[in-house]
Amino acid sequence: MDEWKAFGTELRRLRLRAGLSVRGLARELHYDAGALSRFENARRKPPFELVEAMDRALSSGGSLGSLYESLVPVSPESDRATRLQLRESVALTERRYIDIALAGELSELLAESRRLEDRVGSQLVLALGERQARIAAALAVEARGVSRADIVDAAAGWQQFAGWLHASLGHHAAAIQHYRVALELATESGDPNMLSTALAMRGHVAWMAGDIGSMIGLSRAAQRDAGALNPTVLALAVQQEGRGLGIEGDVDGMEVKLDTAAELIARGADRPDAQYFYSDALIEIQRGMAYRLARQWDKAVVWLDRGLAGFDSGLLGSEWATWYVAEFACALAAAGEPEAASDRARRALRVAMTTPGSRLPGFIRDLQRQMAVKWPGNQAVAALGEELDDAPPKQVGM
């Protein structure tokens, strides 16, 4: 039942977010509290009909149902993940079943998994991501003929996604390994967009590790085939190079790159699924973050505020997007606004505390300590500190 630990963790997270005890949820569902407790502790698998009722009672937007369907068959007709697992098993045994249709199913599940991660966080999707990256790579080894390029493309996508999940959780070495495999697969299939994405995301890991020289170099490498790239893919690398330049003190160069990235996004071209979340508002947010890292506090506040106000409200509740809310809190603190900074930090913390594996509490804890030293008698800063007392132990910061 190990695979059900993720389901139990998500059920507990949603129940606590709704302010319900196990008995309280049982009353809402007219169900046995002892059985609900066994579901949370991964000692028993719930029936799918109950999972649907849980989603409604907890106002979860269907996240429990999506996670359930990724773990176990609801029925051979309705569970995409299970059907795909069966097809994969057959295809690994009989090479002739590795075909373009299978590649399409791998890509469809990848798209669904990306959006599931938006709702539940990286940790709860990691096992699925690792499994599918491993199987897709094995299928790519066995693929032949006209289907090979499509299977290799799908395998590259799963490797890139697994790399993202590990990076989000602070597993730098594992992320780098997945990005390297994605690069190899994308090189074989000749997909310039995935090549650029993997290089840019490898640069993202370099930034997380404080290696700004590699961040800039990898971001530039991701732009080398600019004429063949989707504008959104190119914008990802361009804005990241700009952020690196800002960190190194070249604010003029940073602004040129950020302007270029904004122009690329404004073209409105169809985006590859790996960049489905990109928008004008996200580029504004990233501009604000770049100004913060370049220590241009007032500009950082303006652009982060503007970008967050225009960002997709559904995505803004995801753990990865909440990092930008924490960045806004940092910019507000640096601009001398501890009350506003504490308010934003609390908003970010509440998302982080309901997302297993989040590194955000550690990031916010560092910010609160800095503000407490600067404003020792501030009530808003003190209240943030009290809320942090209930947060998970400090994890590696971003």
Within-domain flag for 284: no
Q: What is the pLDDT of residues 261-313, one digit of tens each?
A: 999 999 877 889 999 999 999 999 999 999 999 999 999 999 999 999 999 88
pLDDT tops 70 at residue 73: no
On whether both 47 and 116 belong to a single domain, the answer is no
What is the pLDDT, as a whole number, of residue 130?
Answer: 94
Final residue in a domain of this structure, among 35, 55, 72: 72
Within-domain flag for 195: no
What is the pLDDT, as a whole number, of residue 397?
Answer: 38
On whether both 9 and 87 belong to a single domain, the answer is no
pLDDT tops 90 at residue 161: yes
On whether both 366 and 392 belong to a single domain, the answer is yes
Mean of per-residue pLDDT scores for the chain: 89
Within-domain flag for 256: no
Q: How many domains does the chain have?
A: 3
Within-domain flag for 350: yes
**Domain limits at 121?**
76-190
Within-domain flag for 13: yes
pLDDT tops 80 at residue 99: yes
> pLDDT category, 78, cuts 50, 70, 90?
very low
Within-domain flag for 55: yes
Within-domain flag for 343: yes
Final residue in a domain of this structure, among 190, 205, 222: 190
On whether both 64 and 168 belong to a single domain, the answer is no
CATH number of 57's domain: 1.10.260.40
On whether both 164 and 64 belong to a single domain, the answer is no
On whether both 39 and 22 belong to a single domain, the answer is yes
Final residue in a domain of this structure, among 72, 102, 118: 72
On whether both 110 and 126 belong to a single domain, the answer is yes
On whether both 5 and 106 belong to a single domain, the answer is no
Within-domain flag for 276: no
pLDDT tops 70 at residue 393: no
Question: What global pTM score does this model have?
Answer: 0.78
On whether both 21 and 81 belong to a single domain, the answer is no
What is the pLDDT, as a whole number, of residue 206?
Answer: 97
Three-state secondary structure along the chain? CHHHHHHHHHHHHHHHHCCCCHHHHHHHHCCCHHHHHHHHCCCCCCCHHHHHHHHHHHCCCCHHHHHHHHHCCCCCCCCHHHHHHHHHHHHHHCHHHCCHHHHHHHHHHHHHHHHHHHHHCHHHHHHHHHHHHHHHHHHHHHCCHHHHHHHHHHHHHHHHHHHHHHHHCCCHHHHHHHHHHHHHHHHHHCCHHHHHHHHHHHHHHHHHCCCHHHHHHHHHHCCCCHHHCCHHHHHHHHHHHHHHHHHCCCHHHHHHHHHHHHHHHHCCCCCCHHHCCCCHHHHHHHHHHHHHHCCCHHHHHHHHHHHHHHCCHHHHCCHHHHHHHHHHHHHHHHCCCHHHHHHHHHHHHHHHCCCCCCCHHHHHHHHHHHHHHHCCCCHHHHHHHHHHCCCCCCCCCC
